[in-house]
Amino acid sequence: MLTTLSIFGFFDQINTIFKQLAQTPSTHVWIYVGLGLLIFVETGLVIFPFLPGDSVLFFVGGLAALSNGKLNIILLMLIMGLIAFIANLCNYEIGRRFGEVIPKVKWISRILKPQYMDEAHKFFEKWGTWAIFLGRFMPIIRTVVPFVAGTGKMPHKKFVLFNFLGGFAWVIVALGAGYAFGKNTWVQAHFEIIMLAIVVVSLLPALIGVFRGVLARRKTA
């Protein structure tokens, strides 16, 4: 009984925190900063392909729906779209300048696994230039594809165009879906549980990968 009550108490506290985040203007700047930093790190630095950018965008879209207009969804889309665009440009330039060296660094290769690079190359072979746009909507791929584009010396103008379209499309879809989802009265009543579940599920692939790596190291030890 105590355990059940403590669980409900925990979710009540989380719900209160979420509503305060949504309703308090003084905290909104930290939502912009935190989300912007996450988007930049995930899509701008090739060694962080496991971060849950899309699910957190969805979550913040839901927070904007709870804020009754105080957390501006249009401003979020514009700022995060611009950050996503700039981040991928950085990733492209890193690949262009250091693409042959980075995957050979031992500690980086443990994160930027060879199969990630292979998947990105195959994705490029299948979709060509459109891989920059479509890759935005695929975890792991969205981080590795701009790096591979830079390594392969993809023409800068083509990359910029499809990066711009893909970055803003990804942000608008993810934030917009969360915003529409958060407007539902049933979702608002269970917001904290649903959003926590979405974030946890989005982290599962990374957690499974870490677990498999630990098991593999134990077997070879």
pLDDT of 213: 59
pLDDT of 182: 82
pLDDT of 100: 83
Our count of domains for the chain comes to 1
pLDDT of 28: 79
| 23 in a structural domain | yes
pTM above 0.85, yes or no: no
Distances (CA, A) of 30 to 2, 3, 37, 44, 52: 35, 33, 10, 20, 18
Residue spans of the chain under pLDDT 50: 1-11, 14
Give per-residue pLDDT as tens, 39-92: 999 999 988 888 888 888 988 888 888 887 788 999 999 999 999 999 999 999
The secondary element (H helix, E strand) that includes residue 187 is: helix 185-189
Place of tokens 């696994």: 113
Domain that residue 40 falls in: 14-210
| 7 in a structural domain | no
